[in-house]
Structure 1
Amino acid sequence: MFKNETMGKMYCLIMAGGSGTRFWPSSRTAKPKQYLNLFGNESLLQSTVRRFENFMDRQHIYIVSSQSQKKVLEEQTPGIPRRNLIYEPVGKNTLPCIGLAAMFAEKEDPEGVMVVSPSDHLIRNEELFRDTVLAGAKTAREQNGIVTIGITPSYPATGYGYIQVEKEMSGGEKIRQFKVKQFVEKPDLDTAKSYLGQGGFFWNSGLFIFKVSVFLDAVKKFAPSLYHDLKKIQAELGKSSYEQTLDTIYRAVESISVDYGIMEHAQNIFLVEGNFEWNDLGSWESVYLFSEKDKKGNTGVGEATFLDSENSYVFSDDGLVALIGLDDVIVVRDGNATLVCRRDKAEDVKKIVEQLKAERKDRFL
């Protein structure tokens, strides 16, 4: 655990309840995207856990997931205490998820600093990542604020939300820090280009840092109904009635993101600049782009062979996939299903999942 006189205890919440439908057929209900080994021998979740274990005590790492993922979550996180694995009865977006974990941490140390992280992002240059998180934790404590990590934009992305900053307040700090002006929605291309042109805009990474007490005060102020419901759940922690209380109350809370519920309303929001390599891995195309390729631009996981084919990606969980005379395609063979699509159609994989649901072909989901 990282601790010194100025920082106090640090906690981490890893949000691991997503369904990852854009990664079908590898991502299924019982084993979504965050549990897949897309790069090397670790799943995305395992990489996330290790990244935080490098500078904080695993006893203070919480993971929120869904009951349907209980088996795979426990298999992949043997070092995390079982009491730190929190299962939502139903997904309710990020604000209830973060609020629930904050209630766990508050019982131990309300003045502790919590880092909130998605479980399925690709992050490289982990030393710089650690330094950025610790700089954000210092700001969160000193300013009694909620801190987000903003990624320095490298192109006019339309798939990310943006954060506009006001004055820089870094002083002599190595990692730049700012007061946040506003959160803005995913822009169209012209708007994204204007953001990069004028400067002062960062990609919203979905990484947040705050003192537990400060965050819960914000929930109490901006989402009072949720706060009171979470308090009722907190009162049952450690009791035999906890599971039933959680199930009854949590199913009824409003589904709302932390951005809408808190970040767009609170005034004490700050940003630390993230210059580490980051991608939210929104589709198979993004995995292709961040994978090491051969001379013809082909890459993948598992057994594959390419003949007269270029710039393509293959994922095979068992057996060989051979590509002949095809360029710019994605082929994923996993279990009882196979996906073949053009790389520029990778975002449409989620539509196939919706179609399979409509056709009641649940055995493929």
Structure 2
Amino acid sequence: MENLYSLIMAGGSGTRFWPRSKTAKPKQYLNIFGDQSLLQDTIKRFASFTEEENIYIVSSATQAKVLEEQTPMLPKENLIYEPIGRNTLPCIGLAAMFAEKENPDGIMVVSPSDHLIENNELFKDTILAAAKIADEKDGIVTIGITPSYPATGYGYVQTDENITGNEKIKQFKVERFVEKPDEATATGYLKQGGFYWNSGLFVFKVSVFLKAVEEFAPELYADLRKIQADFGKPTYDQTLDTIYRAVESISVDYGIMEHAKNIYLVEGNFDWNDLGSWESVYLADKEKDENGNSGSGERILLDTKNSYVYAEDENLIAVVGMDDVIVVQDGNTTLVCKRENAEDIKKIVEQLKAENSNKYL
């Protein structure tokens, strides 16, 4: 599709991936699997069906150095920097303002930068199916992941009318978006059927999305128009900084998707993992050893099973007599925790911030 644009959101801090994820180089810039970073893998995935000059990235101004180092293939003017994080709706809205200058009727695909996605051909076919709906029906389309267990860490999307027709990939009108449920509620969703995990992948016509922002978030829309008016001017950086810091922090789900009526879902059956923690990295690794251990670097694991161990280059980690643990070494920091406590790693980062221990962040 000629008028296809991609937006990759890359401003996250990745606190649950400490100690490898640091302020200067968060999770999305790390090579968790293979030789390329998660961000570079995402760019490569989208470049298979989007011209590189049509790929935009929104990131934090504090990440400018590492972002530019990792994206020599993209025009620098396509790198958009937020002075402060304000959640996904302002982020997407800002990028849509840039894309509108190029092509107001262009189709934009929005994606996080840190997902692990395999079956790239099926992913491409799924995105193009969503783009067709966005183009023909003026719809805002989400990619729904078929749930494999009653996850409590994802939002869910309930589908309504099946509009698949003769298409190979299932397509639906959306009934509603629902917040992250407890386990009993999630179990009920799976038994009832018609519910999908919210992948955070969206596809829409730029003009249609901006119309929705104007309708459901009018104050944000007005602020974004003020910022757009200064694109290319010497005053742009100051205008962006002043206005953007004052906008409401709000997700696109809460701000748009829960209110708009022209919402559709395309079923995503490609291998997908949002890599939310070291535990999810362990579970996603298909190359575990005979004892169920995963990781990389120089390691000696004795009487140790079902563990993730990462050693930095030229360092060695030895683990003896421990099962179900995560051990990650990076520079002047080392993490050791039970796999079941992987979500609590962000509390370490919170404590370090409270203690102003910036040398470990």
Q: TM-score, normalised by structure 1?
A: 0.97
Residues 1:115 and 2:106 aligned together: no
Aligned residue in 2 for 1:162 = 156
How much identity, in percent, do the aligned residues show? 71
2:149 counterpart SS class: coil
**Counterpart among 319, 324, 328 of residue 328 in structure 1:** 324
**Counterpart among 94, 103, 109 of residue 97 in structure 2:** 103
**Counterpart among 295, 298, 305 of residue 303 in structure 1:** 298
1:304 Cα offset (Å): 1.3
Aligned residue in 1 for 2:41 = 47
1:360 Cα offset (Å): 1.7
Q: Distance in 1 between matches of 2:227 and 2:236?
A: 7
**Counterpart among 69, 79, 82 of residue 73 in structure 2:** 79
Q: Distance in 2 between matches of 1:156 and 1:327?
A: 26
Greater Cα offset, 212-221 or 302-311: 302-311
| Corresponding letter in the other structure for 2:12 | G
Contact 1:38 1:301 in 2 (8 A): no
Deviation digits for residues 84-129 of structure 1, max 9, x if unmatched?
Answer: 0000000000000000000000001000000000000110101000
Deviation digits for residues 132-182 of structure 1, max 9, x if unmatched?
Answer: 000000001111010000000011111100000001001000000000000
Q: Distance in 2 between matches of 1:240 and 1:317?
A: 43
1:301 Cα offset (Å): 1.9
1:72 Cα offset (Å): 0.5
Structure 1 segments (4+ residues) deviating >2 Å: none
Greater Cα offset, 118-127 or 311-320: 311-320
Q: Distance in 2 between matches of 1:56 and 1:209?
A: 13
Contact 1:162 1:204 in 2 (8 A): yes
1:315 Cα offset (Å): 1.2
Instruction: Please give the residue correspondences for 1:306-321 in structure 2 after superposition, counting only pairs within 5 Å.
Output: 306-318=301-313, 319-321=315-317
1:227 Cα offset (Å): 0.5
Instruction: Please give the residue correspondences for 1:9-20 in structure 2 after superposition, counting only pairs within 5 Å.
Output: 9-20=3-14
Number of aligned residue pairs:
359
Residues 1:363 and 2:359 aligned together: yes
Aligned residue in 1 for 2:191 = 197
Contact 1:114 1:211 in 2 (8 A): yes
Residues 1:348 and 2:344 aligned together: yes
Structure 1 runs not aligned, ≥5 long? 4-8
Q: Distance in 2 between matches of 1:213 and 1:185?
A: 27
Contact 1:46 1:76 in 2 (8 A): yes
1:239 Cα offset (Å): 1.3
Q: Distance in 1 between matches of 2:355 and 2:226?
A: 40
1:335 Cα offset (Å): 1.2
| Corresponding letter in the other structure for 1:150 | G
Instruction: Please give the residue correspondences for 1:1-365 in structure 2 after superposition, counting only pairs within 5 Å.
Output: 2-3=1-2, 9-291=3-285, 292-318=287-313, 319-365=315-361
Kindly report the root-mean-square deviation, in angstroms, between the aligned alpha carbons of the 2 structures.
Answer: 0.7
1:302 Cα offset (Å): 1.6
Structure 2 runs not aligned, ≥5 long? none
Q: Distance in 1 between matches of 2:188 and 2:18?
A: 34
